[in-house]
Amino acid sequence: MDWKDSEYTGWGRALRATGQLARPETRDALARLEAAPAFGMRRSYGDAALNSDGRAVDMSALDRMIAFDPETGDLQIEAGARIGDVARAFAPRGWLPPVMPGTGFATIGGCIAQDVHGKNHHHIGSFGQHIRQLTLLQNGAERIVKPGSALFRATLGGLGQTGVILRATLRLQRCKGDVMLVTERRAPDWERHLGLLDASRASYTVGWIDATATGAALGRGIVEEGETVAGLVRPRAKPRKIPFDAPHWALAPPVVRAFNRAYYHRVPRQGRSLVRRLEDFFFPLDKLHDWNRLYGKRGFHQFQCVVPLAAADALRAMLAEIAGSGLASPLAVLKRMGPGRAGDLSFPMEGYTLAIDFPNRTEARALIHRLETRTLEAGGRIYLAKDSLASAAQIRAMYPDLPQWQSIVAKADPAGALETDMTRRLNLRSEI
């Protein structure tokens, strides 16, 4: 198989790499390639899937659903398969992936490598907690890995550093149908927003937060609760594409404030319930292909942190700084998380998580650095799937299980063939 010279990016498009890529279509073709880091659809925002001046393997063609056991819900699936395709294939049959991130384009391998979480983390934990078995390619040989082992913990959330993820057995969960009954409620301020998240008993809960609101309205937003139901809705319209990079003024502060105000008021004061397509609830932005181009050719950074429940005031202070900066975008999410995590470098902890996009500007990068410091001081951590700016010292302090991860990775990939721009930037694999 030929290696092709390519320039490529993560989803944020702020960080770029130039190197050689290969896209094998069979297991044998993959085995013939020299060891190199692997990626899927590159939905990680920063440099987790980049390998500047080196080689990388695109796994997106290895996307078969191999076998399904309707008694247990166990699905054997290749790493390049997309989570949205699994949902579309199995929801009409009464099954769903137990955990789904915010995009259906994330691959199974990517969901494992980042141990992703979804709108139901407070109930069901992270993606890796539902993996029954996975298969790695290590030094040309396949290795089966099961929960309970140190290698499993190092692989889940391990950024692909223990070997190339080939396939996995994922236990699906039963659902009532492929339609969502969604309840939307306004949260007029920070306290009410947290109160609605804390009180929710719905299977799926997420908050959109107006990161431009200040004063008494600080923290206002919309809390959505969802349950799967049986029913009929119109088929999803063909996704639209953003045909060009938006000009810098497209997300200027007055535009963002006006959009957020209108979006907040679209929900009646008394709230409402409505039926939605499953994809529109779980993957709302997927109906707008290449939406990352809205941030212009310079791209954007996303900041996502989680802080303990007791540190909610610290998160409120971070939001106040964001709102006062005039740098916020309309894309901001607040969720409550439970304690579930599967790996040494898994992001979740019990607490509140805030995710927000910023255009790639000097002042935004400076703000994110301050937010990262505040997160560390609050006893929280940032999400490596979204990171593009953190320092090695910050990550070491946020992830206390890093030393045991390093020990396993050193044995799994002693030559460092799977290193990426992220692991080098954060010095993740060095003990010093």
Confidence (pLDDT) at 231: 85
Q: Are 26 and 399 in contact (CB under 8 A)?
A: no
Long-range contacts of residues 71-76, Cβ cutoff 8 Å, at least 24 apart: 72/171, 73/171, 73/172, 73/173, 73/174, 74/132, 74/169, 74/170, 74/171, 74/172, 75/169, 75/170, 75/171, 75/172, 76/167, 76/168, 76/169
Closest CA to 87 of 69, 74, 77, 100: 100
Q: Is residue 44 part of a domain?
A: no
The number of residues in the chain equals 432
Closest CA to 156 of 138, 120, 130, 137: 130
Q: Is residue 213 part of a domain?
A: yes
- Distance, CA of 27 to chain centre: 27
Q: Are 118 and 101 in contact (CB under 8 A)?
A: yes
Q: How many helices (H) and strands (E) does the chain have?
A: 13, 21
Instruction: Give the count of domains, the chain.
Output: 1
Q: Is residue 89 part of a domain?
A: no
Q: Is residue 211 part of a domain?
A: yes
Confidence (pLDDT) at 239: 82
Q: Is residue 258 part of a domain?
A: yes
Confidence (pLDDT) at 268: 97
Q: Is residue 231 part of a domain?
A: yes
Low-confidence residues of the chain, pLDDT below 50? none
Q: Is residue 87 part of a domain?
A: no
Confidence (pLDDT) at 317: 98
Q: What is the CATH number of the domain that holds 358?
A: 3.40.462.10
Q: Is residue 332 part of a domain?
A: yes
Domain residue limits at 307: 179-395
Confidence (pLDDT) at 111: 98
Confidence (pLDDT) at 431: 79
| Dihedral of the alpha carbons of 88, 94, 100, 105, in degrees to the nearest 10 | -10
